[in-house]
Chains A and B, each alone.
Chain A
Amino acid sequence: MLARRLIPCLDVKDGRVVKGINFLQLRDAGDPVEQAAAYDAQGADEVCFLDISAAPEGRSTLVDVVRRTADQVFAPLTVGGGVRSVADAEKLLLAGADKIAVNTAAIRTPQLVADIAARFGNQAIVVAVDAKRRGESWEVFSRGGRTPENIDALDWARRCADLGAGELLVTSMDRDGTGLGYDLELIRAIATSVTVPVIASGGVGKLADLADGLVAGADAVLAASIFHFGQHTIDEAKAYLAGRGLAVRS
């Protein structure tokens, strides 16, 4: 039986981790390669880098970070942030990424999703959907949550799946950084609207939140802070999920 995935996420800016794994005795707490290796050693099912550099020069260091990570981490690696073209995606995939996450560029040019899927396979393209609640529905935002797009999140999710996205990384902007748990209605609504895997993101503050996201229909759960700040290890999270009767890789 396919295990549900637990994915720690590292925010990277100008080649350095912004929120680090502070609790580990790392030589260099800001080095994304070392931190990815630490998560790998803890048994993370995948590792995710999201580059939040403002300038293109900052992002160019990402390819090198991915290459050095892939030299020592033999687990699936998802990389997003600033990918604008098939060529950008190819650079990261050749450097050792397994999946490329796109957000703003997919909204501007939906064909990019289809093009990356056609070139590298559906499994290589993840669309990151940043959504904010608007009454009974959710609106899609671009540019790291800065720009409202007046697009319905469920319509967009279905469109991305039709275009060839291999999975959707769904982040609740209302919950991100709050520790109040995922927006479970959002996760449930999207998971029942598409047939591709859904990764829940945004809002995890405790282990029960991870379980709730999976019960709501997510195939994988992503979290940053609860691992970064030493609240929990990957092992603890896996043990908790197994105790809740959820299939996880031991």
Chain B
Amino acid sequence: MIAILDVCSGNLRSVERALAHVGADVVVTHDPEVVARADKLVVPGQGAFGPFMRGITERRLEAPLRAAIAKGTPYLGICLGLQVLFEHSEEGDVAGLGVLRGRVTKLAPTDKTLKIPHMGWNQVAQKLPVPGLATDAYVYFVHSYRVEPADPSVVALEATHGVTFCAGVRRDNVLAVQFHPEKSQGVGLALLRAFVEAA
């Protein structure tokens, strides 16, 4: 059973539908016990970092999330589900889970003609293999902040919007992406299917 973390995220239903579409047995939950015994975890996130992290804390999900990741439960983070893994976000000056070292900073292209939020389809280059994701695939992004991992070896994907930034990380059982696979048509569904079907 795959637990989708319910922290009032804007893309919660879209993620649920996309996972159901690729055949996943999912439960949408904010019950710490369900999170603790889930076979796999999906953490969607759309909105602002502060309220999202507060939602995790208020629902007492911080400890079960850390514990699940530590014991090897496959984790898929989407957008804020990526950012929240890091130690700190500039958005609202808030601490994250700190599962990965590094911080979340405002995406600030030097070319002022480039628009923020970075919204639309952009290509991702693979630094580490991401199951189900085609090389240089176009995926759908909506964000104004990006992660800066302290450890470059976790960077799995990179994209460029004025600056080249980390668009996905991979470490052991953790895979997390800045883009929205649930809105990336077949390319995104293939990534979700690979996560669902992985042993």
Contact = CB atoms under 8 A, between A and B. Distances in A.
Interface of A: 1-5, 40, 43, 45, 70-72, 74-76, 93-94, 96, 98, 120-124, 166-167, 195-197, 219-220, 249-250
Given A96-B13, A249-B121, 13 more contacts: A1-B122, A2-B122, A3-B121, A72-B21, A74-B14, A74-B21, A75-B140, A75-B184, A121-B10, A123-B117, A195-B112, A196-B115, A249-B138
Contact of B117 (A40, A43, A122): A122
Contacts of B186: 74
Interface in B17-34: 17-18, 21
B120 A219 contact: yes
Which of A1, A96, A166, A167: most chain B CB closer than 10 A?
Answer: A1
Interface of B: 10, 13-14, 17-18, 21, 46-48, 112, 114-123, 138, 140-142, 160-161, 182-186, 188-189
30 contacts: A2-B118, A2-B122, A3-B120, A3-B122, A4-B120, A40-B185, A45-B120, A70-B14, A71-B17, A74-B14, A74-B184, A74-B185, A75-B185, A94-B13, A96-B13, A96-B17, A98-B183, A120-B10, A120-B47, A121-B10, A121-B48, A123-B142, A166-B117, A167-B119, A195-B112, A197-B119, A219-B115, A219-B120, A220-B120, A249-B121
A220 B115 CA distance: 12
Contact of A2 (B18, B46, B48, B121): B121
B41 to A, nearest CB: 21
B119 A123 contact: yes
Classify the secondary structure of A's interface with B.
Answer: loop
